[in-house]
Structure formats: structure tokens, C-alpha cells
């Protein structure tokens, strides 16, 4: 009998983080975001194909790694030859002992260590596998988590009891308002499971599996394009040359999502960029073409689920794109016959709330009306206690900017944003206001009472951080931040010693306070929270050299 130890993990399609698959089970839930992945017999055969084929040929203790992509997601497998032994005392485990244990589903060593051991799962049809040993017993025999934590309802203030079995979003038992388990509490109730090996015991006569695995996707060949760029290839991790940064957002894990107009073709593409190493060049995680109708002014928003929302002023629909791999999961508003379908043709601004809903600001003659939608496009109350809106009926809006607290005058050019902490910001020509999760005023800038303009925001220039601090662009390439409605002064400006600013018109801030700014002429820059320039694109460096020579 040959013992083959395997470690299996897959990349969650919700948040992109690795999920430990420590047993031969049909489904696994991500400990971080709760998304479930289904692994049927076909997927398990694909995942274990190389291990079963190459594993028996390895020498004792030799280890290899396999990575593959299936229609169920991305997987990584580490496999090695091993000898049947107790993990605690290293006493050998005989084949007879393992076969005897399958009747009781567990093998108990002389040292007292109890190890799950069962006969091969017939439904999987894994060739040559007789026994499976050392699977995660907590996965095989799940126990309900008994810990309970009190959580206040955002609607009525009633106390809710949540545990590890509570969904991320659940209705209040008193008022039925949807409650959201915050990140820190969710992490406490759902500790991340470590990746651990389980063992496949192969029949001594089992031959390596040589049949071709169907369904796995090999890396695509790279096609060189004009100007050194590649579409789907060349060096797939290199950022191509681009002429314009259309919009930027930063995910909760620090991934930068950028809508870029490519220099050689003029086409717009959406990129997910790995920025984990602030001292090195950014790397491409994935890229995808932006639909032609959204290329003129593509705009981005980030959802707490890890999804990216792509929309465009003047276009009816929006796209929900999975941030982990760039797969488009939904298009909302495309069905004109749907009575209550979301329609963004008159939208002035859009942002994603931390509870997964969309907040849309619709420009009208008297100001901007705000509406809230679920991620399927159906309307929900803007704030707790308000009526559900009829999306685009001119006479039935339940709330306008003027009806919120406080009243903000001159709200013709408005941009909204939700910070990583859940604060809702509204920035207009003459005021900046912030609201809490119940729609109550946190502050409004004093300029609003005096009729003094703050300079007004420019396109794509509002973003909030995890601490409730608001960042805006004002009067060109100047980034100013507001703390509780008070300006902290110029945060970055053209003469800042930390680096020159030139044509930047859009920006974003990460949860750690890292600031990104971008604009035309291929300019993209990264600043640390203490205003130090830590990275600049080739276009930005070129402009800096030209400016230095002019001086």
C-alpha cells in the first residue's frame, strides 16, 4: 500500500483568499466571507489527477506542487510520499489496523491519538484509492458553534444574538431590518482554518493515472501586441503602457482596481493590480476589456463582498465583477421591460455600502435624490424606517438630499462615497456632509451655513478611509482631507516635496491609508499614509524628468 499525503486549497471566488480543503467533502465554506464552493466527483478527480498520477513515482518524503484552474475555481495541491504512522508518536499504522478502523471510522493509536480513517468514497471514483486517513475531524463531524455575541440592530436598536451559525446579513428579529455582522466580529466567530494534509492510501498494485484530466484550463499562450503590450499574455503580470487613468478604487485587501485606456489601441480595460510590495512595481492579477458603451467615462465602486461595480454616466446598466478573478457575475438594468430595474442614465454618482447595497444619486433640477438598491437591482429603504422607493418615478421618491439631516444647499454637482468604516459622505458645491449607518448627521462643513464654496469636487475625487477621514480633489491636482468636517490642510499638492503632481484627476485610498492618484499621460502614483511617494508609473516618471529639466 502506498501512502500519499495531500494538501488541497482553493481560492475563494468571493474574497480571493485561500480556503483549506482538509477532507474529501462535497462543499467548503470560506471562513472569511462565507461563500460556499461545490466540489463534486468530477472536480475532485481534476484536483487530485496529478497527485494520483505522479505521487506513486516519488521517492519517500519527496514533495511536489500542482496548480490548476477548473470551472469551480483555482486550486493548489501539495503532495508527497509518506509512510502510515501516528502523527503524535510516529508508531507505524498497519494496513489491517486501518481497514479495521474504517468500521468504527476512527483509528486509535496506543498513545491515545484518534485518527479518522474511512474506506474510499465510492461516489468519487478515485482510481487506486482504498482508504482515506487523517481528514479534518471538525469537517467530518461539524459541531454547532456555541459562542454567542450581542449585536445592536441598526434599525431599532434591539439586541440581536449572533454566533458562528449566523449568516453575514440577517433580518432583525424585532423590526426585520437587515443587520450586518461587521468584519472584526465575523473573523472572531469564523477563525480561519489552516491548510492541513490528509492521506490517500493507494492499493499496492495501483498504476499511475495517465488519462488526461478534462476541464482543467492550462495557461493561455501569450500574444504580442503593438507597443510591447500583450493581450492576455506576453508577461501577464506587467502593467501595459496606458494613456489615461479613467478611475481607481482600492479593495479591502489592498488590491488596486484601475480602469486604464491603453496607449496603443485606445481601448479601455479594467485591471486588478497586486500592490502588496510598496517598494516594487505593481503586478497584474487579471485584466479584462471594458464594454465599448462604458469606455467613454468608466466609473468604479467597490463592494464589501470583494466585487467591483463598473458603470458609466449615460448608460442604463452596471456590471458586477468578481474582484478575485475578473469574472462578470451580473449585469443589472439591461432588461428594459423589468418595471423596477435600476437605471443609471441620469445617475450623478454611485457608491457601494458596506452592507452590500448600492447607493445611487440621481441628478434633478432641484438637487440630487438618493436611492438604495440591493445587489439584484431591487429598491430598499435609503435609511432605516423609510419606505422602499419606486426606483425612477419622479413623484414618489422618499428622500432627497434636502430632506436628509442637515439640508445642504447648492447640491447640483454631487459626489458620494462610503468609507471603509461605513460612513456615508456627500460632497457638493458648497458643503460636505457625513452620515452614520442610521442616516443621522455626523457633521456638515461650516461653509454650508455661510454659502462659501469649498471649491467643489471634480470627477472621481471622493474617497473615505477606515478611520472616517474623507479625501477630495480640489482646484486641480490637490488632495485635501477632512477630519470630522474640518480641513486638515493640503494633504498633497503640486509643490509637495514628496513628489510632483501633474495631471492627476482621480484617486483612491486603501484601508491602510495608502493614497493612489492617477490621470492622463500615463500617470499613476502611490503615496504612503505619511505623504511619501513610494511608487510612480513610467508615465509619471517621464513627466517628472521633463519638469526637472524645464526648471
Residue 340 has a pLDDT of: 56
Residue 494 has a pLDDT of: 58
- Residue in this structure with the C-alpha cell 470583494, named with its chain if needed: 306
**51 and 79 inside one domain:** yes
Query: Cβ(384)–Cβ(377) under 8 Å?
Result: no
Q: Does the residue 96 lie in any domain?
A: yes
- Any idea what DSSP says for residue 461? E
Query: Cβ(324)–Cβ(15) under 8 Å?
Result: yes
Q: Does the residue 141 lie in any domain?
A: no
**DSSP characters for 248-269?**
EEE-TTS-EEEEEEETTT--EE
How many domains are there within the chain? Answer: 3
Q: Does the residue 288 lie in any domain?
A: yes
In tens digits, the chain (551 residues) has pLDDT values of: 788 899 999 988 887 888 999 999 998 988 877 788 889 888 898 889 888 888 888 877 678 888 787 778 888 898 988 888 877 777 888 878 887 777 667 777 878 788 888 888 877 888 888 888 888 877 877 654 556 788 888 888 888 888 877 888 889 888 888 888 887 787 777 777 888 899 998 876 544 443 333 444 433 443 433 223 334 444 667 788 888 888 899 988 889 999 998 877 778 899 999 888 766 678 888 988 888 777 667 889 888 788 899 988 777 788 889 888 888 887 887 666 655 567 777 777 888 888 888 888 876 655 667 788 887 777 778 777 665 544 333 343 333 333 433 333 344 567 788 887 788 888 776 667 788 888 777 877 754 433 333 444 444 467 777 777 888 776 555 677 778 777 776 677 655 544 556 567 788 888 888 888 888 888 888 888 887 888 888 888 887 777 666 65
Query: Cβ(85)–Cβ(67) under 8 Å?
Result: no
**91 and 182 inside one domain:** no
Select from 541, 538, 545, 520 the least CA-distant residue to 239. 538
Query: Cβ(510)–Cβ(472) under 8 Å?
Result: no
Residue 70 has a pLDDT of: 79
Query: Cβ(449)–Cβ(383) under 8 Å?
Result: no
**316 and 338 inside one domain:** yes
Q: What is the CATH number of the domain that holds 302?
A: 2.120.10.30
Centre a 10 Å sphere on the Cβ of residue 497 and count the other Cβ atoms it contains. 8
**279 and 341 inside one domain:** yes
**104 and 238 inside one domain:** no
Q: Does the residue 210 lie in any domain?
A: no
How far is residue 370's CA from residue 340's CA, in Å, rounded to a whole number?
A: 16
- Residue in this structure with the C-alpha cell 451580473, named with its chain if needed: 330
Q: Does the residue 395 lie in any domain?
A: yes
Query: Cβ(316)–Cβ(334) under 8 Å?
Result: yes
**356 and 262 inside one domain:** yes
Q: Does the residue 216 lie in any domain?
A: no
Q: Does the residue 217 lie in any domain?
A: no
Q: Does the residue 521 lie in any domain?
A: yes
C-alpha cell at 421: 468604516
**Residues facing 301 on adjacent strands:** 309
Select from 449, 493, 497 the least CA-distant residue to 475. 493
**389 and 519 inside one domain:** yes
Residue 271 has a pLDDT of: 93
Residue 177 has a pLDDT of: 87
**425 and 316 inside one domain:** yes
**227 and 179 inside one domain:** no
**111 and 153 inside one domain:** no
**268 and 171 inside one domain:** no
- 88 conformational bin, left if phi > 0, alpha if psi -120 to 50, beta if neither: alpha
**486 and 355 inside one domain:** yes
Residue 497 has a pLDDT of: 40
Residue 372 has a pLDDT of: 83
Q: Which domain holds residue 55?
A: 2-136+195-202
Query: Cβ(296)–Cβ(312) under 8 Å?
Result: yes
Amino acid at each position: 500500500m502506498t501512502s500519499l499525503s495531500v494538501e488541497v486549497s482553493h481560492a475563494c471566488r468571493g474574497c480571493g483568499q485561500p480556503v483549506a480543503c482538509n477532507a474529501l467533502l462535497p462543499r467548503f465554506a470560506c471562513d472569511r466571507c462565507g461563500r460556499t464552493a461545490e466540489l463534486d466527483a468530477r472536480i475532485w478527480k481534476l484536483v487530485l489527477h496529478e497527485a494520483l498520477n505522479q505521487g506513486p513515482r516519488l521517492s519517500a518524503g519527496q514533495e511536489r506542487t500542482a496548480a490548476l484552474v477548473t470551472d469551480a475555481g483555482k486550486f493548489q495541491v501539495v503532495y508527497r510520499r509518506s509512510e502510515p504512522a501516528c502523527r503524535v508518536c510516529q508508531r507505524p499504522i498497519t494496513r489491517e489496523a486501518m481497514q479495521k478502523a474504517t468500521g468504527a471510522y476512527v483509528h486509535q493509536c496506543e498513545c491515545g491519538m484518534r485518527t479518522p480513517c474511512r474506506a474510499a468514497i465510492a461516489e468519487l471514483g478515485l482510481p487506486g484509492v482504498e482508504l482515506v486517513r487523517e481528514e479534518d475531524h471538525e469537517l467530518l463531524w461539524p459541531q454547532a458553534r456555541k459562542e454567542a455575541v450581542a449585536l445592536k440592530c441598526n434599525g431599532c436598536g434591539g439586541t440581536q444574538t449572533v454566533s458562528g451559525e449566523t449568516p453575514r446579513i440577517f433580518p432583525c428579529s424585532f423590526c426585520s431590518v437587515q443587520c450586518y455582522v461587521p468584519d472584526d466580529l465575523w473573523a472572531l466567530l469564523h477563525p480561519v482554518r489552516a491548510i492541513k494534509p490528509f492521506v490517500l492510501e493507494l492499493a499496492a498494485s495501483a498504476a499511475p493515472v495517465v488519462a488526461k484530466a478534462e476541464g482543467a484550463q492550462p495557461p493561455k499562450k501569450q500574444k504580442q501586441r503593438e507597443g510591447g503590450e500583450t493581450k492576455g499574455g506576453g508577461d501577464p503580470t506587467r502593467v501595459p503602457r496606458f494613456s489615461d487613468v479613467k478611475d481607481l478604487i482600492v479593495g479591502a485587501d489592498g488590491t488596486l482596481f484601475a480602469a486604464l485606456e491603453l496607449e496603443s489601441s485606445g481601448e479601455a480595460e479594467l485591471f486588478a493590480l497586486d500592490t502588496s510590495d510598496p517598494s516594487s512595481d505593481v503586478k497584474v492579477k487579471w485584466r479584462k476589456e471594458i464594454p465599448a458603451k462604458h469606455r467613454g467615462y468608466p466609473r468604479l465602486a467597490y463592494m464589501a463582498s470583494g466585487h467591483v461595480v463598473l458603470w458609466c454616466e449615460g448608460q442604463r446598466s452596471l456590471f458586477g465583477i468578481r474582484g478575485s478573478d475578473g469574472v462578470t457575475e451580473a449585469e443589472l438594468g439591461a432588461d428594459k421591460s423589468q418595471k423596477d430595474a435600476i437605471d443609471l442614465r441620469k445617475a450623478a454618482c454611485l457608491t457601494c455600502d458596506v452592507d452590500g447595497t448600492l447607493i445611487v444619486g440621481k441628478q434633478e433640477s432641484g438637487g440630487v435624490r438618493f436611492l438604495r438598491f440591493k445587489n439584484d437591482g431591487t429598491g430598499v429603504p435609503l435609511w432605516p424606517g423609510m419606505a422602499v422607493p419606486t426606483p425612477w418615478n419622479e413623484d414618489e421618491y422618499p428622500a432627497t438630499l434636502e430632506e436628509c439631516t442637515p439640508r445642504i444647499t447648492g447640491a447640483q454637482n454631487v459626489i458620494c462615497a462610503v468609507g471603509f468604516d461605513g460612513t456615508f459622505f456627500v460632497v457638493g458645491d458648497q458643503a460636505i456632509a457625513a452620515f452614520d449607518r442610521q442616516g443621522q448627521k455626523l457633521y456638515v462643513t461650516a461653509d454650508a451655513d455661510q454659502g462659501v464654496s469649498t471649491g467643489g469636487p471634480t470627477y472621481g475625487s471622493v474617497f473615505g478611509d477606515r478611520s472616517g477621514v474623507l479625501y477630495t480633489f480640489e482646484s486641480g491636482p490637490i488632495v485635501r482631507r477632512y477630519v470630522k468636517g474640518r480641513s486638515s490642510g493640503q494633504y498633497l499638492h503640486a509643490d509637495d516635496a514628496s513628489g510632483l503632481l501633474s495631471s492627476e484627476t482621480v484617486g483612491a485610498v486603501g484601508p491602510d491609508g495608502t493614497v493612489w492618484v492617477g490621470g492622463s499621460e500615463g500617470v499613476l502614483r502611490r503615496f504612503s499614509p505619511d505623504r511619501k511617494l513610494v511608487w510612480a508609473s513610467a508615465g509619471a516618471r517621464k513627466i517628472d524628468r521633463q519638469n526637472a529639466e524645464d526648471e
